[in-house]
Amino acid sequence: MNLTKHVSLNINVRGSGQSATLAINDRCKGLQCDGKKIYNFGLGQSPFPVPTPVVNALKLYAHEKDYLPSKGLPALREAVAGFHKEKDKVDVSPEGVLVGPGSKELMFLLQLVYYGEIIVPAPCWVSYVPQARILGKKVRLIHTTYEEKWHMTASRLTELLEEEHDIYRPRILVLNYPGNPDGLTYTKDELKDIADVARKYEIILLSDEIYGQLNHKGEHVSVARFYPEGTILSSGLSKWCGAGGWRLGTFSFPKNLDWLLEAMASVASETYTSVSAPIQYAAVHAFRGGVAIERYLWHARRILSTLGNICQKILVDAGLRVHPPEGGFYLLLDFTPLAEKLAQRGIKDSVTLCERLLQETGVAVLPGAVFERPPEELTARLSYVNFNGANALATSETYPIHQELPEDFIMRTCEDTITGVKIIAKWVS
């Protein structure tokens, strides 16, 4: 008797491994256990602790044990709507909010319930395409370039939409800004132009703004302002609230997309049921915000902006192409100017690039290929979060709030980050 003889797996699932961002983390931990010094720029996790008032709220509601409605705790749906009204100036109603165990799960449900095409500008977040593959669907990618600041333009979008000559083709365009893996964001005018195209072709926008509150200038603009009737606004606790491991994401729908909300809630009720009750009660406090959370965000932005820009300069000086960061905690490194030198070392694609970098120096970054870039393009994502966020926040608080952080601050609080980046610079020289 050997049940393994009859391995019976869905062909869409066969051979798929772990999500790339999670896998790199496990790999780094393994190497660390072997005693190797690792600079883990792989995982995209906020370095900062969950703000104290939010942790205290979780303690307060630890006894909450009832199944909550699949769409979410009413008070939380209200808080999320209020958050988008205040922060994004978008008129979200509580009835339009869907709460899920991470926006990743919500994205999966959206792909599951929606019958139509998903369009994603690439580089893009690692899970859109694997999710589509699991569901036996295809994603249409729009490849952007370094010169375009990795932005999809309205004209590129128009081009793709015109290709089909099919105005009624059901389509969702996924936008993500500040962006993972590029750390860049769109200007108001760019968003307006994209919104105009979306309206003209009647496509739905899924606007993934989970890094919105980590716009380094605190000036995030949502595309939902310019296309409210067709935009689903995605957010969650993972990035700006430092609570990735808590697993809470939100989608906010306009009234006329409630058929999508209802279908997703129906599938939710047959799968994860609802998000963990104590977490939802605590999240109410996060989305309601307040002075302590605003101060937390203010310091987080100042630290990330300062650190990101220092890293960018080191890498540019070493000959890489990297745009100065505008939000979140990623840099997309483009090694193309060094292609010849790297080719002499046998490095001709992004996977080899990252593998060799990790093996030869202990620096872990993720290859552009996992962000749907062409395999031979020498790009990689660097997540500059390998520092003690609690310590950095506490130290930042000792500096006057409207002053720039001095370079020695970064050297003291983010030493490993700078060292790791310098190792990359040295490795390519």
- In this structure, are residues 153 and 193 in contact, taking their beta carbons and an 8 Å threshold? yes
**Which of 98, 265, 310, 364 touches its own copies by CB under 8 A?**
265
Interface residue with its own copies among 27, 31, 53, 55 (CB under 8 A) is 55
Does position 382 bind its own copies by CB under 8 A? no
Binding to its own copies by CB under 8 A, coded x per residue (else -) over 7-46, reads xxxxx-xx-xxxx--xx-xx----------------x-xx
Residue 36's H or E segment, with its range, is none
Considering the complex, what minimum distance in angstroms separates the CB of residue 60 from its own copies?
A: 9
Instruction: Kindly list the distances between the CA atom of residue 312 and the CA atoms of 41, 307, 308, in Å, as whole numbers in the listed order.
Output: 14, 9, 6
Query: From the list 24, 90, 223, 243, which residue makes contact with its own copies (rule: CB under 8 A)?
Result: 243
In the complex, the smallest distance separating the C-beta of residue 250 from its own copies, rounded to whole angstroms, is: 15
Binding mask 222-241 for its own copies (x = CB under 8 A): -------xx-----------
CB 142 within 8 A of CB 169: no
Q: 55-81 burial, b for 16+ CB within 10 Å, e for fewer?
A: bebbeebeebeeebbbbbbeebbbbbb
Q: Which residues ranging from 156 to 215 are in contact with its own copies (CB under 8 A)?
A: 168, 170, 199, 202, 204
Q: Minimum CB separation from its own copies for residue 78, in Å?
A: 17
| Shortest Cβ 336–its own copies spacing (Å) | 30
Per DSSP, 215 falls in state B
- Where does residue 163 rank: exposed (0-12), middle (13-18), buried (19+ CB within 10 A)? exposed
Residue 254 structure tokens: 């306009």
DSSP helix/strand/coil, 53: helix
Find the binding residues for its own copies in span 107-166 (CB under 8 A): 108, 112-116, 127, 130-131, 134
- Contacts to its own copies from residues 316-375, by CB under 8 A: none
Stretch touching its own copies by CB under 8 A, among 98-106, 145-153, 302-310, 361-369: 98-106
Q: Is the separation of the CB atoms in 352 and 375 below 8 Å?
A: no
Site for its own copies in 268-307 (CB under 8 A): 269-279, 282
Total number of residues shown for the chain: 429
Pairing of strands 204-208, 171-176: parallel
CA pair distance 209, 244, nearest whole angstrom = 15
Contacts of 159 (CB under 8 A, 6+ apart): none
Give the residue with the Cβ less far from its own copies, 330 or 409.
Answer: 330
- In the complex with its own copies, which residue's Cβ is closer, 73 or 418? 73
CB nearer its own copies, residue 204 or residue 353: 204
Among 58, 97, 342, 354, binds its own copies (CB under 8 A): 58
Beta-carbon count within 10 A of 102 CB: 20
Q: Which of 32, 145, 256, 391 binds its own copies (CB under 8 A)?
A: 256
Rounded least distance, CB 113 to its own copies, Å: 5
CB of 201 to its own copies, least distance (A): 10
What is the total count of residues that contact its own copies (CB under 8 A)? 86
Name the minimum Å distance from CB 331 to its own copies.
21
- 281 alpha carbon, distance to own chain's centre: 24
Distance spanning both ends of the chain, measured CA to CA: 58
Q: Which residue in the set 42, 178, 244, 367 belongs to the binding site for its own copies (CB under 8 A)?
A: 244
Check whether the bond before 181 is cis (ω within 30° of 0): yes
Of 86 and 262, nearer to its own copies (C-beta) is 262
Q: Can you read off the two tokens belonging to residue 126?
A: 């690692």
